[in-house]
Structure 1
Amino acid sequence: MGAKQTDHRLAVDTDTNIKKMVEVALKFSTQVFENTTSRSAYSSVDRLLAMMDSSDPHIIIEVLLVFQVMGKRSRFLSNRLSPDLQKRLVEKLAALTECWGGRLREVKLTDCIKPSLALAQPLFPLSFTNSSGQSVHIPKPDDSMPLLLVVEETLKKFDGDDADRASLVARLRLLRAFEDQTHRVDWVIARLLAMSTLLAVYSRCGSEELAAMVPQLPPLGFIEQTCSLLHVKDDVHERVDMIKALRTLTAICSNETKPHRMDRQVDEMLPTTIAELL
């Protein structure tokens, strides 16, 4: 329902009633996956992947929460999902974690949740390089232009594959309203969820082809930035949720092979975890 496209827009992005129903359905699905291991409950993965093209961060976050629980509760995503769907999932998760590169590379997660953010240089025009090494410069899209239309028009300029499309969607979606604090906070949350889910899938993945698609996990400096989120005051923004950071760090710890980095994570996590429990 929510993934149906009309004029390069998902129904969930154009109809408020559909959005509300989809959000409720996704929240319910998260609870279902928390409490069942029935394979029949996993039949909607293709529709979840389609909804990851939404321009609404709230929808993306709810979809990622469903995938996160799937990855935690079973090996379905890593071992039983069809190769095509598994490839699409990894591409979209990787795109969400990597879209913070380029001119956002030096922007810290804690800076993103501040009311204002001064950037060293404008985000547009965006220079995008596809998987074949071809580059294109993308001017700032008009706000009224559908995100997916911008992506399709850009892809016509070079031979882009599915991974390029996923990367373009994630990058343009993040940058279009980056000056807005709530927009930045929402995509910080989405990045944390995508990282922890990707780690869960990657750690159980037996496919060398899929493993090669996964970016360096976690990227350099990401652990320290995520740890710093644990010390952000709750009143900075209503949507700041430390639990997302804790879950991401837990996923990193379970996959970490360098003892000195794990010691740092545990030292940062322990006081905050105890405080949450109390």
Structure 2
Amino acid sequence: MELPTIQQTLFVLFTSYLMKWLMPKLMALLKGDKKTVEIHEKEWKKDVVYLYQFPRSTHMPSMSPFSLKLETWLCANDIKYEVRPTWTQRSSKGQIPFIELNGEHFADSQLIINMLSRKFDKEDTKILTQSQMGTARAVDRLIEGSFVKQVHFSFTLLHRFDAIVAFKYLDHLPDLISGETMGLKWVPRVVTDVAAMFAKPAFAKKLYAQGFGRLTREEQIEQARLDLQAIADVMGKNKFILGDEPHAVDFTLFGHFATFYYLPFDVVLKRMVRDEFPSLLDHMERMKERFWPDWNKHLAA
């Protein structure tokens, strides 16, 4: 085994110290709950959505499931939009993505979809029955409220989780935030490895506090399997969750599943979807083919 040089050792120690000092300040800076926010696009065009989200990744249009959900919904509904890539800007709720429309600021991907649905007459209530609306809401909350637990964390692109925290972030955090995956190839791997080292305990603490982190590995996998099975059972033999056409809940499912399935490394959830739930895999690939036929054109170089 080749030992690191003195220069490499000093660089790692310096980077570790810097990250330990810098990270609390970054989190304080990114923390939201602002009553007012600045409108960034001063010369906006009427009814054009300005979508603020993280820059493109080398493997998917967005590493954030909420951004991918929202942008795919915009594509599907033929709403004019322009992407504004950013690492630092945040919504009034301290999150990303957010949008600006006609000189106004709107936050939270689901609330944004609800608002745009009303404004552009794209509401599911005009198409679905009351029973179907209830089913859609239940599945949506299963995905973002159980399978992806409501936990806020301001570091890089990470907002909310549960099973995904354990199998995507905790298992693969150094790979996930590497410059190669994030589309920042100029960032040395040692820097992102040190950042992951400091960030990982925060994820573990959150996961433990909400209960999922107290389960054994086998219990975590079984819990995730039950959630996946519930979604597959609701969808049945449909092309999409509620039938032959997609609705808002399909974009939620696609956003969260695509952002772990198309990662360049193996993830427990990826194997489960591929090997045990072919209908969910078909759903994801059907959504990608229909709404992202130019997927590769939207990847970072």
Tell whether the structures are fold-level matches, with TM greater than 0.5: no
The TM tier, using the shorter chain, reads under 0.3
Q: RCO greater where, 1 or 2, for CA within 8 Å and sep 6 or more?
A: 2
Report the TM-score when normalising by structure 2.
Answer: 0.26
TM-score of the pair, normalised by structure 1: 0.27
